[in-house]
Amino acid sequence: MSFTAPLLLLLAIMRTPLFVVIAASAMLGFYSEEIDLSVISIEIYRLAEMPVLLAIPLFTFAGYMLGEGHASQRLVNLTHSLLGWLPGGLAIVTIIACALFTAFTGASGVTIVALGALLYPALKEAGYGENFNLGLLTSSGSLGLLFAPALPLILYGVVAQQMDLDQPVSIDQLFIAGALPGLLMLFMLSIYSMLQPRTENLELEKRRPDAWLSIKQARWELPLPILVLGGIYSGYFAVSEAASVTALYVLVVEVLLLREIKIRQLPGIIRESMTLVGGIMIILGVSLASTNYLIDTEVPTRLFDFIREHIQSKLTFLILLNIFLLILGMMLDIFSALVIIVPIILPIAVGYGIHPVHLGIIFLANMQLGYFTPPPSV
């Protein structure tokens, strides 16, 4: 068995689809335990036993719809008209608009595509330096991952719930836990942006859109965050219910009321968004199998014992964990890191007395930072 792990790792970094690498490792494991390999399919079928997963296709679809219409333009106008007067206003507009958009679309790639094209020229015009603009846009693309109803939070909850921990991990708790650290990041980045040097462009101030007008233009999208965030944080909606309300609402608004998306565009949008969903969920499916194998063979427990011998204090562990996750975030995208790494480190962290919800936020925050740290960031 000892030679297979490096081999699989090599395959993984040579562009083998990740779900194949995970499935292969699970199959090798089960094969060596002489367990019938139909167990893989049985584990994948557990995707049909978790009600919360419904949120993944529905939120992703809604996010793609918002990215396709002119919602991003209206969001920028709105934040610009309300916050544009601040020093460094446009940079802050970028940060807030991107964070909101990412929370709803789930994947930072969508944000960069939908908002980057709008904001990049605007930032340039406002007199910011080239490097700052690019940096701000790419990092803003992943801000918002800690806010409800971002997909990575949901996915972390799903993975953690599979682990049979003593402390229950509810996705609602994760949403609450993510809010403060997320706001802190927005705040810090805003302060930094305010301090950025730039050449004044007074012309721009005059062109700030009228607040009332932009509110009016965004009247259909405005209720959405209130509906979803209010619904989830007040406990009125379960996550999957919030997702279905969002999907239906966005569909009705974009196609029937605003008519920005034609019916004939829908098949393309559905295919694109569900391709992403399929890519994420097939990894989740096979990782249910590999996680099961890991738990059966007590790999996390043994790892914990090993690490325990060298690191005694919880604080040292946390610091090392942060460094490890930061490096990991540079190499893996958030979704794959979630399903591959969380099952291994979560039991170890719990062993050190770290609450699973706490770990989740640490994990995602680090992934987010690692995401915009080179080398191979998207």
Interacting residue ranges for other proteins, rule: CB under 8 A: 11-20, 23-24, 27, 36-38, 40-42, 44-45, 47-51, 53-54, 56-58, 61, 240-241, 243-245, 247-248, 251, 266-267, 270-271, 274-285, 331-333, 335-336, 376
Distance of closest approach, residue 263 Cβ to other proteins, in angstroms: 11
Nearer to other proteins, 64 or 317 (CB): 64
Backbone region of residue 106 per phi and psi (left: phi > 0; alpha: psi in -120 to 50; beta: other values):
left
Sign of CA dihedral 184, 188, 189, 193: positive
Nearer to other proteins, 62 or 99 (CB): 62
Amino acid, res. 367 = M
Distance of closest approach, residue 199 Cβ to other proteins, in angstroms: 37
Distance of closest approach, residue 274 Cβ to other proteins, in angstroms: 4
Nearer to other proteins, 185 or 289 (CB): 289
What separation in angstroms does the CA of 42 have from each of 46, 48, 345?
7, 10, 25
Distance of closest approach, residue 105 Cβ to other proteins, in angstroms: 16
Distance of closest approach, residue 343 Cβ to other proteins, in angstroms: 17
The Cα 358–Cα 347 span in angstroms is 13
The Cα 302–Cα 305 span in angstroms is 5
What separation in angstroms does the CA of 284 have from each of 47, 142, 162, 165?
8, 21, 11, 19
Nearer to other proteins, 159 or 349 (CB): 159
User: Which among 349, 344, 365, 338 has a CA at the least distance from the CA of 315?
Assistant: 349
Long-range own/partner contacts, residues 184-193 (CB < 8 A, 24 or more apart) = 185/143, 185/146, 185/365, 185/368, 186/95, 186/96, 186/99, 186/143, 189/95, 189/136, 189/139, 189/140, 189/143, 190/88, 190/91, 190/92, 190/95, 193/88, 193/91, 193/92, 193/94, 193/95, 193/136
Nearer to other proteins, 19 or 304 (CB): 19
Distance of closest approach, residue 106 Cβ to other proteins, in angstroms: 14
Nearer to other proteins, 12 or 348 (CB): 12
Could you say which DSSP state residue 210 is in? P
| Contact in structure between 153 and 176 (CB atoms under 8 Å) | no
Nearer to other proteins, 17 or 87 (CB): 17
Nearer to other proteins, 5 or 188 (CB): 5
Amino acid, res. 122 = A
Distance of closest approach, residue 117 Cβ to other proteins, in angstroms: 22
Distance of closest approach, residue 53 Cβ to other proteins, in angstroms: 5
